[in-house]
Structure 1
Amino acid sequence: MKKVLHYYNVAKEVALVTYKEWSAYRTHSMISIIVGPVYFLVQYFIWTAVYGGKETLNGMELQQMLRYFGASALIGYLTMDFADWNLQMLVRTGKFVTFQLRPVHHRFFALSQKLGHRVLGLLVEFIPCFFIFHFIFHINMVPEYIGWTVLSVLLAFFMNFYVNYCIGLTAFWLVQSSGIRSVFQALASVFSGGLIPLVFFPKYMQKLLFFLPFQYILYVPSRVFSGSYSLAGISMKIWQIVLLQGVAVVITMLLSEILYRKSLKKFTAAGG
């Protein structure tokens, strides 16, 4: 119990410091209040033209499509992550060595940082854009299943963090991992469902994406928000896809731990 309380206090303090630090630059986050609605407006015109009077496309009505993009934008505000950039900077500058002297796992420290950063995002990005989408664009932004949606977004929060942390760990081998980071971000922006829903990809691609981590970052929580899930011809109940998402998060977390331990061995060897 004391150990749990200790980690709780560490997470709270790190999150609070991060929140205060980024609050000084909150205008940077507030730009999203403009960018988010403008992006949504562009999607509105694009998909209105694509539908062209058709009732459905790949099983989705126009209002469902707009709701999907509204949900994906809001979820993105809550799950956005920078762990890969932070970690590779620590390795490249040599400052990671200071964490070897601290009585806390760096991954836990980085996760606590993200928590504080996204609490700020909740206040200055998520809430204002929620009201804009709901009351100005008149898109129903209330989830079909609030409990499952909250759980799925939380899992996406962890999934995005662990995946990015694994990317950041490549800096122990490459020193500068910005190339891999850029490639991964490009792939994630397409294959997470942020540009178009994954059901619009060819069937063979959908089958591949079903086993990759990308869909669990954005597509799955967005579909859980909408109240239905299907990919590669597979339809799943909400509780089933959220359970699968949880399994994917656990696997990614274990992978990050394996890579972390291998990274420390290389770091120690290089330091020696």
Structure 2
Amino acid sequence: MKNICKRQLDIFRATVFTTYKEWVAYRSHMAVSVFVGPVFFIVQVFIWNAIYSTRETVTGLTLTQMLTYYGIVNVINYLTYDSSDMDLQWHIRTGGFITFMLRPISYFYYAICQKIGHRLLALWVEFIPVYALFLFVFKINLVPASFFWTSLSVMLSFLLVFLTNFCIGITGFWLTKTEGLRRAFLVLRDVCAGSLLPLTLFPGFIQKILFYMPFQFIAYVPIRVFMGSYELAGISMSIPEVVGLQAIYVVIMFLIYKLLWHLGTKRFTGVGA
């Protein structure tokens, strides 16, 4: 057991380090995304300044709170970004996945190690510069209400983004090309997760539907945990309660991944290898 744990830890270190070193060579490509978040935020500033010119609050949020919401959206996205769906479907489509079936390591473990290495580089290339920009230039309060609960919620969001995207990638065993499904899913996810609009802006009956879907735990929940309070569809929960519920959804998505993976790998024929 000890040798197995040591071996898995060695694989983790090697994969994370290799991915980090690989992407260091292309860090200028990642640095371009540093401009995307601030530009999106500036657009939101213009829109919400116009909206708040005739009112003081929108669904209980002041202008300052609304802009803080979008500032948090941006910085969290840099920590949780994932492309495992695109990578997996590419390996399936080209037949390259067959090499992973012959390796003494699961593709799932390899993919999540890659994501960790990629996001470690993003921490100083993307996250820190944008965080400093929002904090010192835009004067957005990016100090979490509770560092512990916010960190835990963001880590769970990190896992949930990976699991949901990975499940989309698994559909490549049936569809081969998943670009259309991937784009549709990303739009649905961003809308239902609260990345584009706070979920409290939706009508009450839609909020009730969104409350039971996993998407709110990707963005909306970490943001509200960051801000120190949670409310959706008229339901208020304490921070520990909502983070606990977030953890449950991570477990559910993991079980869904296991089922889809079991069914999908049976269909793999190595086309293109």
TM-score computed with the length of structure 2 as normaliser: 0.96
By how many angstroms is 1:55 displaced? 2.3
Return the alpha-carbon distance in structure 2 between the equivalents of residues 139 and 257 of structure 1. Answer: 41
State how 1:1-272 maps to structure 2 within 5 Å: 1-267=2-268
Corresponding letter in the other structure for 2:36: V
By how many angstroms is 1:35 displaced? 1.8
User: Across the two proteins, how many residue pairs are aligned to each other?
Assistant: 271
Change beyond 3 A, Cα 1:12–1:59: same
Moved more, 125-134 or 37-46: 37-46
Q: Is the 8 A contact 2:173 2:268 kept in 1?
A: yes
Corresponding letter in the other structure for 2:6: L
CA shift digits 1:59-83 (9 cap, x unpaired): 1111111111111100000000000
Corresponding letter in the other structure for 1:183: A
CA shift digits 1:209-267 (9 cap, x unpaired): 11212111111101111111111111111011100000000000111011111111122
Change beyond 3 A, Cα 1:145–1:53: farther
By how many angstroms is 1:268 displaced? 5.9
By how many angstroms is 1:40 displaced? 1.0
Return the alpha-carbon distance in structure 1 between the equivalents of residues 212 and 8 of structure 2. Answer: 33
CA shift digits 1:105-144 (9 cap, x unpaired): 1011000010011111111110000110000111111101
Return the alpha-carbon distance in structure 1 between the equivalents of residues 70 and 6 of structure 2. Answer: 39
By how many angstroms is 1:269 displaced? 10
Corresponding letter in the other structure for 1:3: I
Q: CA RMSD in A?
A: 1.5
By how many angstroms is 1:42 displaced? 1.1
Return the alpha-carbon distance in structure 2 between the equivalents of residues 87 and 256 of structure 1. Answer: 13
Identity %: 48
Return the alpha-carbon distance in structure 2 between the equivalents of residues 137 and 195 of structure 1. Answer: 19
Return the alpha-carbon distance in structure 2 between the equivalents of residues 14 and 101 of structure 1. Answer: 17
Corresponding letter in the other structure for 1:17: T
Return the alpha-carbon distance in structure 1 between the equivalents of residues 143 and 4 of structure 2. Answer: 38
Return the alpha-carbon distance in structure 1 between the equivalents of residues 213 and 271 of structure 2. Answer: 32
Q: Which runs of 5+ in 2 are unaligned?
A: none
Q: Is the 8 A contact 2:93 2:271 kept in 1?
A: no
Corresponding letter in the other structure for 2:191: V
2:236 partner SS? strand
Return the alpha-carbon distance in structure 1 between the equivalents of residues 262 and 27 of structure 2. Answer: 35
TM-score computed with the length of structure 1 as normaliser: 0.96
Return the alpha-carbon distance in structure 2 between the equivalents of residues 32 and 106 of structure 1. Answer: 27
Q: Is the 8 A contact 2:198 2:220 kept in 1?
A: yes
